[in-house]
Structure formats: C-alpha cells, structure tokens
Amino acid sequence: MSNEAKVNILVCDDDLTARILMKETLASDSIEVIEAENGQRAIEQFEKHSPALLLLDVSMPKMNGFEVCEHIREHKKGKHIPIIMVTGSDDLESIHKSYAVGATDFIAKPIKWPILGERVKYILRASQAFADLVTQQQELHQLAFYDSLTGLPNRQYLMQDLQRFLAMAQRNHYQAAMLFIDLDRFKRINDTMGHSYGDKLLRKVAHRLQANLRDSDTFARVGSEQSSQEPQLSSFGGDEFTIFLSRLNDPNEAMLVAERVIRSFSTPFQLEQFEVVVTPSIGISMFPNDGDNAETLLKNADTAMYFAKQSGRCCYKFYQDSMNAKAAARLQLEQDLRRALKSDEIVPFYQPQICAQSGRIVGVEALVRWLPAKGGIIPPDEFIPIAEETGLINELGRLVLERGCYQAKQWFNEGNPVRMAINVSAHQFRQLDFTQVVADVLRQSGLAPELLELELTESVIMSDAEENIARLIELKALGVSLAVDDFGTGYSSLSYLKRFPIDILKIDRSFMCDVNSAPDDLAIVEAILALAESLKLGVIAEGIEYGSQIAILKNTKQLLLQGYLFSRPVAAEYISPLLNQDFNHLMPGL
C-alpha cells in the first residue's frame, strides 16, 4: 500500500523503548507510526502530519500529555481526533484529568501490547464512522441551507438567523433593511439562450453581488457586534436574491447599497462568446417601520420590488403602506383573469381594415377585450401585462386565435372572405410548438391559411433574428400572411428585414396621428412607404381618424387603412353589416 494511502498515528513518549514497542505493535501496511520524544515535538508533528490518532504519555518533559491534549483540542484540526492517554496503572487522578482535558480514551501501564493494537484499530474505525457522519451532516446542511447553483445561503438559512438579527436590532434601537432583488426579463435569457446559459448568468450575478458588498465601504464601521454588521446576501432560487443590512443609521444607507448594486450591473456579463446585459429591480423594506418580523419584512420588500418593475425596471423602490392595497388589487385581478378565461368574459373585438383601392373591408384585426359578468369593460393595458407576467398570455393568445379563425370561417361561409389579423405575443412566439398550434387551429376551424395574418412586433422578431427567421419560415410554410406590427418603433436591421419572410408592414399609429403637423413623423412615414415599395411589401396604416391623414399615403401600393375614421373595434355582430359597405366617401384624398 502506498504511503499516501496509509493512516498516520502519532506516538509521543519520552521513553525510547516504549516508542519502539508501540511502533512495532501498531505499524502495518495501512498504518504508519510517527514518533515524538516530548510534548513540544508532539505538537510540531501533529501540525505537520495531521495524524488520525494520538497516543500521549502523561509524564513528559517540556509539555506533559495533559497540556498537549489541551493544545490540540484548541486547534481547528484537533477537535475530533482520537487521543489516547497513557497513564499509570493505579493513577485514578490522571485518568479523570485525561477526560477533563479532552482525551478520548486511556490505557494503563504496564501496557498489554496485543490489547493496545486491537483498541487502536477499534478507535480508528469508530473515528472514521464519526468522520463519515460529520461529512454526511455537512452535506445535508449544505443541501438544506445553501443554493446548489450559486453556493449562496438560501431562504432557510436567512430565516433561521434573521429573527435573531432583528431581535438584536430591536434591543439596541437601530434600523435594519431588507433588499429584495429580481433580475429583469431573466426568462428571456433562458428562452433565447437556453437554461445552461441562464445558470451561468446566475452564478456570475451572485459573484458580482458578493464582490460588490465585499468592496463596499458602507459597512466599514467599528463596533462590538461586527459580524452582525456584515450584509447577508442570500439566494431565493431562480433569479431572486436578498441582501439584509443590519445596524443602519437611516434608510439612506440602504439606498446607497441599492444604487451601488444597480451601477454594478451596468457592465455586461460575459457568457463565453456572448455579452449579456441584465438589470436588477430592487424593493427595500426597513425595520422596524415596514415590519417587525422576518416574514413581514420580506413580504414588503418583495411588494416594493414589484412596484420597481412597474416603474420601468432597473431601479429601486422603498416600501409604502399603500403598496399592499395595490398589490392585493393586482392579485385579485390575476385571479379574476384566470376565471374570466374559463367563463367567456374574454372576447375578441374586431377593427376593419379597408382596401384603399376598392374602399371595401378586406380584413379585420382581432383585439382582445375583457367584459366582466358584473358589467363594464377592463382595458387591455390593465390585464395584458398581468397575463404576460403570469404566463396566462399563452392561454389568452390561443383563445383569440381560435375564436378569430372560427369567426373568419363563419364570414367566409356567408360569402365574405375577410382576412383575420391576430396579434402574437413574444411568449406565444417563443413556444416551441407555436407553429403546430397555428396549424391545428387552422385545421380545426377549416379556415384557409391565406385568410389568416399573424402580426408580430418589430422588437419580437428582432430579439433573436437568426432563430426567428427559421421560425417565421415555418409559419410562412403553412400559407399564412406575416405582418410586422408597430413598425418604426423598434430597431430593425435592414439586412435582416429583407431576409424575413414577411408580407406587410404596419405603420404605428403614433406616426399617423401627427403626420400632418409633425415633420419628423411625416419623414418616418415616407421612409416606411419607400421601404415597403422597394421590398414589395403591403402596408397597413393604423390610427386613421381624419381624412386629411390619408393624403400622404396617395399612390401607395397594397395599402390598407385602419382607424376610428372607419370603425372602432366592435363585436363580431357589428362587423357583418359593414362587410358590404363602401368607404370611398371617407377617402377623398386617394
């Protein structure tokens, strides 16, 4: 057996004969005996070799066995190492003192050497079993109290100490703060780059937060409770982190930490060949004003973080009492939305799209509306963001797609072939089975693919252009039309735009509203029209409210018009009478 695999035993006795006999008794293929002739030498050998077991004679020069045992027990590596004291046969006082200074066992002189050998083997086995148990407990502790991905303390670890920190703060009349950090649009990283890159990003975020807090001078203050002053960084799983700050003089100190965290995220994260920018939204709750216990402090910091996201992300918000009422209202709205999706309260309204050449309706855009059973209407800008945050947008989007296709099929059966335009959210478009969903709905409804138009915003198709080109080609292969919605509000690359298999550009209503009075908007509209003509794309102008807006669009090929001038979005039964109507009288400028 190699020396590296052997167990070291340290024998310490000033009697050379005793050391020789111990070595002869204990040494084997698996055990190597190291000798020391006095207490001082024993400590040196212990620190050098880290033996698995020690045999210490009680009476030795320089340092006796009791002193050596005490010294080793105080050493960080000597707390659990078996120590056998060698005492006189009738020396009861030495036996008691041996146990008092931390000895594991004793053996009396004269030594019965075969018994010593067996006792050492037994103690080594017991020691190994104990070491295995300690290792297992450490592993279980690591699993229970630390995040496996980042290595940071987890929620359980924080909660077990937080109440103690808060009690200390209350006893000493100082403030504390909880910072709840959530990464903005982290799901987009997972969806576009994959979960492996998402995991790498989380590890780098944890490392940067640690470095940021370690380098901060906010906590470089001298005090008797130094350990409680250090910021407690924890991972709450996924893309959520917390920082607990103790011994604060005022909330400004928490604000400085939040600002420092936000600034630290301005540097992109390097993920192999990719540079990724991610920002934090931070909610801050103060002890004792915003909560006098751990759960309340965390809940209110989480609530404040949500309002930071609502305020535009990449910022921090201090908790206010009014936030809970707003958060409760939002939660109620989310619950109501889930119920509404199952009770036919979510319905599509339709806004006509008029062919500029014929003056007739050739298409409609399906626009979702929420009509609660109790009456009234809930605006889309109130429930669409909640649907996106909760993932309900996929269910809502499919509902509109299905109902829109069935409605278009009904109009077709009545002799009115009208193209149905359906908005596709980023969440829907990123679903791996989205193309199959569209194919299934077309098959089930019986609608011809050429009567379905899918509208995607400029920002969605540009989020991962190369991958999205392939997905758009799949959709195009079904026979549907593809439109870029809100064109001009994003940052399309012309080199990509000509590669996208799109059919239509929709001019955003924000440009059309002031086209007659704002030279910049006029220039943008003219540029979009020229681009569409060069790429042989159709154009839909949204936001047409006055006949004077139409003049600028004169001579545009494949032009459709949409806006309040012709009709507001209305229920399907109000569209049917309009399908045979001529709108040329509203377009004198064409």
In 3D space, the residue among 263, 269, 258, 255 whose CA is nearest the CA of residue 186 turns out to be 269
Measured between alpha carbons, how far is 552 from 526 in angstroms, rounded to an integer? 8
What CATH number labels 3-145? 3.40.50.2300
Band (pLDDT 50/70/90 cuts) for residue 224 is very low
CATH superfamily label, 344-586: EAL domain (3.20.20.450)
Rounded to whole angstroms, the Cα distance separating 561 from 550 reads: 9
180 vs 232, more confident: 180
Closest CA to 305 of 330, 333, 284: 284
pLDDT for position 219: 45
CB 449 within 8 A of CB 478: yes
Task: Kindly list the domain boundaries of the chain, sorted by start residue.
Answer: 3-145, 155-319, 344-586
Spatial CA neighbour of 12 closest among 62, 75, 74: 62
Q: What is the mean pLDDT of the chain?
A: 88
Tell me the residue ranges of DSSP E strands in 141-195. Answer: 175-183
Residues 254-266 have a mean pLDDT of 93
In the numeric block, which tokens belong to residue 130? 């104990």
Whether 150 shows a pLDDT value over 90: the answer reads yes
Highest mean pLDDT among 170-179, 443-452, 454-463, 498-507: 443-452
DSSP-derived 3-state class of residue 57:
strand
- Domain at 155-319, CATH class: alpha beta
Note the pLDDT tens digit of each residue in 100-127. 999 998 888 888 888 888 888 888 888 8
What would the pLDDT profile of 377-413 be if each residue is shown by its tens digit? 998 988 998 998 888 999 999 999 999 999 999 999 9
What's the N-to-C CA distance of the chain in angstroms? 97
Per-residue pLDDT at 523: 86
Question: Is the pLDDT score of 1 beyond 60?
Answer: no
In percent, the amount of the chain with pLDDT more than 90 equals 50
Q: Which residues pair with 183 in a beta bridge?
A: 280
Q: Do domains 3-145 and 344-586 have the same CATH topology?
A: no
The vertex-229 CA angle with 227 and 234, nearest 5°, equals 85
**Are 179 and 315 in contact, with CB atoms under 8 Å apart?**
no
